[in-house]
A and B are shown apart, each in its own frame.
Chain A
Amino acid sequence: MSNQLSIQINIQNDTASITLAGVINEDSNFDKIKNLNLKKYIFDFDKINIINSCGIRDWIKYISELNNAEIIYENCPQIIIEQINMVHGFITSKTEITSFYAPYFCDSCDKETKILLKKAEITNNKAPEKKCPTCSDILEFDALEKQYFHFLGQK
């Protein structure tokens, strides 16, 4: 089987910074990041294309084996956020999503653009105001806020 997931790991003190790239599916091998017994894991999902149903299952299983370590998800693409919102288990009591991409739409340019948001910018499930990088007009948040930010209330 071809393994399309690549994992890069950088361990400093008790923290692992793990960059994932490619596809998380049934063929993904997490051995490289198992049994590290660290206190904190920071997962960068920026380069993840998709995570399919088997990948979700395997990921949830992997996360559950991290033994109460602090887990940070950063730079989550929209597809990951959608999966997180649709499937329980991504977020545990020790998991936090610190940054993620959200869809915005510029009426003037008639184009969608993905904006990286920080969790701290979201208050009351309201998307922060952002400006179009091309024409500087105010962007419209292009998803259902309650639905998209649902993961922030998950534990």
Chain B
Amino acid sequence: MSIKINIPLKLKIVSLLSTLLLGVVGFYLYYALNIFKEDKAADIYALTLSHSQSLQEQLENIIQTQTSLIDSLNRLSEAGTNLETVISNIVEENPTYLHLACLGPGDSLVESSKKDFEQFQLKENEITYLQNISSDFSSVERKNSSSPYLIFIKKINSLSCKVVSSLDILNSIVSTNEQLESYFINKQGNLFYNVSKKDMKQISHLSKSTLDKFSKRTGVTKLKIDAIETIIAYAPLKNSTIIAITEVAESNAFSAARLLIKKSLYYGIAILSFSIIIGILFAQKITQSLQNLTTSAEIIASGNFYQETAIVSNDEVGTLAKTFENMRLKIIQFMEEMKEKARLENEVKVAQLVQSSFFPEKLISQKNLSIFGAYEPASECGGDWWGYFEQKNKTTVIICDATGHGVPAALMTAAAHSTLNNIILDSKDKYISPSQVLSRLNKVVTMMQTTVQLTALVIEIDHETGELKYSNASHQPAYILRKDQTDTYSKENVIPLLGENYSRIGEKPNSEYADQTFQLLKSDIIVLYTDGILEFTNGEKSYNQRNFIKSLINSSQFKDVSEFTNGVIADFNQFRQKHPLQDDITFIGIYYSHNSENHTNSFLPGDISIIQNLQDVNNLSPNEDIIVSHLNNKQNIEHIILNKKTNHLIGANSLKLELELNLIDLYKEDPFAPTAVIFYQKEIVTNLEIPTITNEVIERIKKSDSSGINLPHVHLIIEELLSNAFYHLPSNLNHLRGVEIQSPDPIIITLEITQDYLNILIDSPSKESVKEQIVKSIFRGQSEKSPLQQNGGAGLGLYLIYEKAHQMWIIETNDRLGIRIVLERFSRNLHSEERITSFHYIKGNHNV
């Protein structure tokens, strides 16, 4: 494709040079010539004036000579000398003098003439003329302008002389400058003598006023004579009407300047021409290099990258050419790299396709299980993988995460997939547990002798029993979402499958793995995932566990496991927006729908019954010491009243059921023993101290970590328990209220605070069993919800405490009564409210 050049570079360079030169030279010429002209004009003027003055002086000298002659003759005459001889001698000896006549005193005339010039002898009128001239008269004249003779008449005293001389006498006056035209003129404009004037007609053009001016003083002026500017210098003779004039045409005077201008022009044109030629040659050199570069670019544009650009130049154009050449080589290199990259990308795409076949179909529906997995690699191939297999009535799910991502990690997933296929084959003949799956996988990976390792979690779910068996090789723990009493999933009921965590797959060849178990309940949701989800950051924040759990709870509303999984992924993607993944992500949701609650809960000791409804109560054996109840508080108290063998009724939505069971064991051993560091303990001997103690406890809790602790409830519980303790002292037989009560044995308040609960124990003297009274008082309050109208207590205290407590422990010994209230640290008021209060009764020995 040729691109039209509007203004060629050559033209630009040449134009630039020419304009520059023209400007400089023209300016110089104008400036220099002006100065030259002015200088020349001054010279011309001075010269012509000087010339006129020179003529003037010369003529004046001649006149002076003539005057001197006559003066000499006069003196001779006065001396009595006969002038005849003298005159005759002068005429004879001096070739210039043609005739000399003197008229002396008494009109004596003496004259002499050269031969052939007798005509100059004085005529009568001339004698008369001489006789009549005044003394000191003098004149110089010519008969006419063509007369070849000069007549000088002078009278000195009484001698009058007339000298006729030839013009030769004037020939000594010469002009050295040919341009100057000189002549003598009289005031009347008559030519006296022409020295060097060429055209005598011009003399008539001098006006009377001009001549008048010339006759007065010496000077130089410029006049236009016959349309010709003429410089005229004039010098009048003293005592005479004769004026010496020198003229020069102005054009002739400045002919040198004109010549200079002309020559300068010629030189200027020559220089300009030379510079244009140089410019063209220079431009030619540059544009040729650029043209070559253009040609090379066109060749490359046509697809031929292998044509070398050959420009040798040591200037910027050369640098451009070298840079262009480098660019060509880089393009070739880049093309090779692109080819290689395209090849690799193709291979990776194939690998990606192959890897996608390693994953099971997304939705797996089985007898009591439905499984739905989601997976997205961070790059084309990822290091996450999951799979499953079935054996008899069990489904085993495995999730893996190889260190890193990309092709190396993806190859590891191929090994995992291959191992699983082998396990599937072997499982047809023998049972393979989750720990055995990990062992097999570990052997395979360690044999590969690679630096890539895997974390892996294997879970096995028994469809019938709901037992979940699992083994964890340093992977993220699975979560179990479990419904609470209100049939909803909540953050508090998200159970992480913790326990032993074993070595990574591939870390060492002889790693050992073991199985752990967990009992699933109907509607439990099992969640397996990789850390790419939790650790994802969108540039500002990381997704983290809080958002993840929140998303699990939000999505648990869906009845279908695919909607659940998609909901979790959708929440993640909303957080992620358009940011790329830093690591692969895998998420598997498993819905377990089998009602396995008739089977013994594996983590509950002994045979602990679970009461779902009132009918279950009727089906309990009489020896149920410990039960777990889904009933409400009033129903539970009623049960305790009616079933005296039940000493431990645990609310089914206990935050830490296992912990509560442990407390049963501990308190059975020693009901007053602390189970954690004592936060506060005080002995109180008078009820007057109750407000102070209460405020002290509240303030101390506020200063420490009070999260999850309802302080108004704590205030109320302590005040009610202490008031009750004093009110029910054996020494307060009248059960007085509103008076000071003192206790001979101190009442002890003890507080323990752990990260899971606040444990308040009021230990007071007692002589009789009060369990029945306590539960009846609670039941009355629950039923009537109104205070007793009596002078003593309102009969509401224990009811209020029980409704606010999460665990109430009644501990009786032979001489002490302990009421222990445990407040579990729910993060949400709602869940705290929903908590079914546990009731525990311990009859034991007092160990203080």
Contact = CB atoms under 8 A, between A and B. Distances in A.
A9 interface: no
Contacts of B688: 1-2
Contacts of A57: 787-789, 794, 796
Nearest to B739: A1
B22 interface: no
Nearest to A78: B712
A86 interface: yes
Q: Is the interface of A mostly helix, strand, loop or mixed?
A: mixed
B793 interface: yes
B799 interface: yes
A144 B834 contact: yes
Contacts of A77: 712
B793 A50 contact: no
Interface string A31-61: 0000000000000000001101110110011
Contacts of B713: 79
A70 interface: no
A11 B787 CA distance: 30
Contacts of B786: 60, 87-89
Nearest to B554: A107
Range of interface residues on B (Cβ < 8 Å) = 35 or more
Interface in B547-566: 550
A87 B712 contact: no
Interface in B714-766: 715-716, 719-720, 723, 737-740
Interface in A81-114: 82-83, 86-89, 103, 105, 107, 110, 112
B787 A142 contact: no
A87 B787 contact: yes
Range of interface residues on A (Cβ < 8 Å) = 35 or more
B800 A53 contact: yes
Contacts of B795: 53
B785 A86 contact: yes
Given A79-B716, A110-B546, A105 B829 contact: yes
Contacts of A23: 691, 719
Given A77-B712, A79-B712, A88-B786, A52 B797 contact: yes
A92 B800 CA distance: 21
Contact of B829 (A25, A60, A142): A142
Contacts of A53: 720, 787, 793-797, 799-800
Given A4-B691, A23-B691, A86 B800 contact: yes
Contacts of B716: 50, 52, 79
Contacts of A50: 712, 715-716, 719
Interface of A: 1-2, 4, 23, 25-27, 49-50, 52-54, 56-57, 60-61, 77-79, 82-83, 86-89, 103, 105, 107, 110, 112, 141-144, 147
User: What 8 A-B pairs come out closest when comparing CB atoms?
Assistant: A57-B787, A53-B796, A57-B794, A53-B797, A53-B794, A79-B712, A142-B829, A103-B829
Interface string B382-422: 00000000000000000000000000000000000000000
B710 to A, nearest CB: 9
A49 B715 contact: yes
Contacts of B330: none
B718 to A, nearest CB: 10
Nearest to B714: A50
A115 to B, nearest CB: 12
A105 B550 CA distance: 13
A83 B803 CA distance: 11
B785 A54 contact: no
Contacts of A88: 785-786
A75 to B, nearest CB: 15
A107 B550 contact: yes
A86 B784 CA distance: 10
B787 A2 contact: no
B787 A60 contact: yes
A33 to B, nearest CB: 19
Nearest to B553: A107
A30 to B, nearest CB: 14
Given A50-B716, A78-B712, A112-B828, A89 B787 contact: yes
Contact of B830 (A27, A79, A144): A144
15 contacts: A23-B691, A26-B737, A50-B712, A52-B716, A52-B719, A52-B723, A52-B800, A53-B720, A53-B793, A54-B794, A57-B787, A57-B794, A78-B712, A79-B712, A144-B833
Contacts of A2: 688, 691
Contacts of B19: none
Contacts of B737: 26, 54
A32 B796 CA distance: 26
B300 to A, nearest CB: 58
A95 to B, nearest CB: 15
Interface in B118-150: none
B542 interface: no
